[in-house]
Structure 1
Amino acid sequence: MAATIDRPVTCTSITAAGRRPVDYVWAVARIAIGWIFLWAFLDKTFGWGFATPAGKAWVAGGSPTTGFLKGTGENALGGLFSSLAGQVWVDWLFMAGLLGIGLALVLGVGTRIAAVAGTLMLALMWAAELPLATNPFLDEHIVYAIVLIGLAMAGAGATLGLGNLPIVRRNAWLR
């Protein structure tokens, strides 16, 4: 009779639901980063007083891009980015990006598209801040972008999200 060996739970162990513990870590990371994007959209839209005062809310006629982009004037690419500040098309594109990326990540649908769009948005925000004040090249924008790429590669929308819906499984672009 062969003896059984108790093995520790690892990232490759499969749970009864067919998920590995690491799948849940990626899912929580997906929801957390999605909430960062979604919260930025909500606070900039309604001015709930966390990062955006009510008087500067988008619904009150404020520009969601002006504060950040105007503050880049002294940076390496400041001329380019500060010239975009307050332009209606930039505001709409930025806010649509925040909402779309946030919803896709929180819901677990379209995570690949959200990862590409989010990485692009974060890379542009990183470039607007060059040179960085606290590190020669790395800040939270790059770290979030790396995590977004990991989310897409791990198929993180299938755990704790809508990524297992039949329509999503049939259409790779929705994953």
Structure 2
Amino acid sequence: MDPAAPGRFDILQTSFKAASKCLLTACSREAVKRAFPSFTDAERERLYHMLTRVMKAMHATIEEEFDEVCQERQVAAALDKIDDFDEEQNLDVLPSEKTSIEEIEEKISRAKKDEIEHLAALLKKVEESNNAMKARLELLKKGEDSTASRDVLNKLTQLNSTYACEQ
């Protein structure tokens, strides 16, 4: 925020004074004449001056009371803190990006761990399949029940092909 720029409290004071001034503006001589047609010109003039003094006094009193309430409630300090916080939020872009980066890193790390676990499970299945095939091949080499061995070998080859496609 520009140091010369008005803060929230300055804006509040200016707005309040403008609003109270509009509400408590002394009425014109013509308005008094129209409002009190039965009065003499001298009476209307005295009434006009009295109304003007009352409006000025009310205006000053209301502004003083507004300032006292603001001081009692420490409105200026609170609004300055809000200005400071607002400025920090506008300038402090990095923490929100840092949080996003940390979240992205966590998601990527989790995805990598999941992929490693999946690949490890696939590798284990393939190793088991290979071990089973080796055992069946040993049986074939020894010549035990060649028909049953061929069936088992075909099934293992099919399983191996299925696992190889999954990778």
Provide the TM-score with structure 1 as the length reference: 0.25
Q: Which structure has more helix as a fraction of its residues? A: 2
TM-score by length of 2: 0.26
Task: Kindly indicate whether structure 1 or structure 2 has the higher relative contact order, using CA contacts under 8 Å at least 6 residues apart.
Answer: 1
Larger Rg over CA atoms = 2
